[in-house]
Chains A and B, each alone.
Chain A
């Protein structure tokens, strides 16, 4: 068993995190399939998979509950599915609605929240709503006990770290006395609130403030539940059986972000199972300058073609050297565990057999 497969063997939650555009969704799918092939009951939660990957996984619509997809996995191909694989695409709005339904003290409060224009916007538009709902869904699935392990593909945030801060921000928000100011202004707090309200009214008009106050009043009935939940979610994220896989490419910005993320995980008491460097190019250990390569190939390919191939090889080696430097930097800055590198493919993945191949590579 490989080092990474070993580190994932007894985990209950695997969260794939990293900068946008590095192939997190594909890696998540491969990890989920790989774990299912090792006999585990796996739920894969994806955010926004490429159409062909979604089709490959049999995910043709948002339904916000995992559905069995292991029937689509071809027999043979070096990957026997001894476990179970279910997958879902996250529906942000529905996850928020489910949360409110769960926590609302009565039907009237629930319906009033759903009808409030501030809620409508909060649950769909506001930055961070994907992060909140991804974590909420993760927590909910972990509670059910229907799965041995949940693999979560994180939202494509510009800052991968936003994801970690989501429950904290929610707790902080709920614990702040600010809500109290909105709800029951008294004493000197009342004076300050009055000035704020007057200014808000002056610059935005009245309707907005009324909606907002109503929304906070409705929400106050849910505060205990939300606060408890945020605390539980936080505990789940730092649990020994919850691990993060940091996914990156060897490009400068994603790599910086991966290193930053790895450090933040540590600082927040969360556990990193490994780093995956995606889209790596094979490094030629021998001499590969244009002249040497062209000479080597000249007798087989002739002068023109051997030269063209040599130029291409040198270009690709520049990428390979960048990849190699990235791997070295990861080893030096993060130490163990050794990063796993995945070779760049010519094309985007588009059927489950290719996901299976990648799974074998990730957990080799």
Chain B
């Protein structure tokens, strides 16, 4: 991830995508990079884990020292886009308020995704297109679940094929170039060592290559359980039968074995691509302290 400008963090719902995105962003801040975490569809999971709250849509806040955060929703992205691209205040205002235009945006395939990815892409511009906005070295996108990611990233290309001229086509082409540039952009997949998340990660890799020509970057496997017990240990523990502690030990060991199998399956499917693992944290909630701990682990494991 080092040296990238744009890191897209995705994964199946419920695997801890926002946690990993926030931890990765903390590692970048520690390297001295001006970093922002962007969430879409007006979500604020990463902001809350960082100990802050999201601002209004498109408002850049600082929930963690040195780390900025922004949440992007379609409507605000649309208004922003119209302000930037349509000359004169009246047409822009009229369009933004027009129900007909809203329906146009909602029904036009890829338009909504294009506006979202466009607002993220704007964060990468130096100087920024938004007047008075500060520039960033790195944008970490806490992206939609892997099932919807390809749609989001494919929007510029899809849109360019139906809208061949004009400002949208120009901007789409620029976004496409950034996404396709392996030196600038990396897609990071987050998974847990379970059946469905592993399957989705492997499918995502194929889809990224096939539909977008993008190579999947690092894969982070979150919430991995490891067992400290040997076979002899387990035999001794078995003698305790229904003791509550023995039950915990057996559960953990069984879970660790299942995780090991899924990790092997993932590694085999990814054929040598780097897989970073993060342990299951037993704490009740993921807050700043836990994120910093995960950031330490990521720093140590990153090549």
Interface residues of A (CB under 8 A from B): 19-22, 50-52, 117-118, 121-122, 125-127, 156, 158-159, 173, 176-179, 181-182, 192-193, 195-196, 199-200, 202-205, 207-208, 211-212, 215, 249, 251-254, 281-282, 284, 286, 288, 293, 296-297, 300-302, 305, 308-313, 315-319, 321-322, 325, 344, 346-348, 350
Within the complex, the shortest CB–CB distance from A52 to chain B, in Å, comes to: 7
Give CA–CA (A20, B18) in the complex, Å: 14
Q: Is B199 an interface position by the 8 A CB rule?
A: yes
Chain B residues with CB below 8 A from A297, complex form: 240, 243, 245-246
Interface residues of B (CB under 8 A from A): 12-15, 41, 43, 45, 85-86, 91, 94-95, 98-104, 106-110, 112, 144-145, 147-148, 151, 158-159, 162-169, 194-197, 199, 228-229, 233, 236-237, 239-240, 243-249, 251-252, 254-255, 257-258, 282-286
Chain B residue at smallest Cβ distance from A127? B148
Chain B residue at smallest Cβ distance from A252? B285
Chain B residue at smallest Cβ distance from A350? B195
Chain B residues with CB below 8 A from A350, complex form: 195
Chain B residues with CB below 8 A from A196, complex form: 94-95, 98, 100-101, 104
Give CA–CA (A312, B255) in the complex, Å: 12
Chain A residues with CB below 8 A from B247, complex form: 282
A281→B245 contact, CB < 8 A = no
Chain A residue at smallest Cβ distance from B250? A346
Chain B residues with CB below 8 A from A316, complex form: 248, 251-252, 282
Give CA–CA (A286, B284) in the complex, Å: 20
Within the complex, the shortest CB–CB distance from B47 to chain A, in Å, comes to: 13
A178→B99 contact, CB < 8 A = yes
Mostly, the A contact residues are helix
Within the complex, the shortest CB–CB distance from B83 to chain A, in Å, comes to: 13
Known: A196-B100, A253-B45, A348-B258. A122 touches B148 (CB 8 A): no
Chain B residue at smallest Cβ distance from A120? B109
Chain B residues with CB below 8 A from A309, complex form: 237, 245-246, 248-249
B109→A179 contact, CB < 8 A = no
Chain B residues with CB below 8 A from A20, complex form: 12-14, 145
Most chain A beta carbons < 10 A, residue from B197, B244, B247? B244
Chain A residues with CB below 8 A from B15, complex form: 21
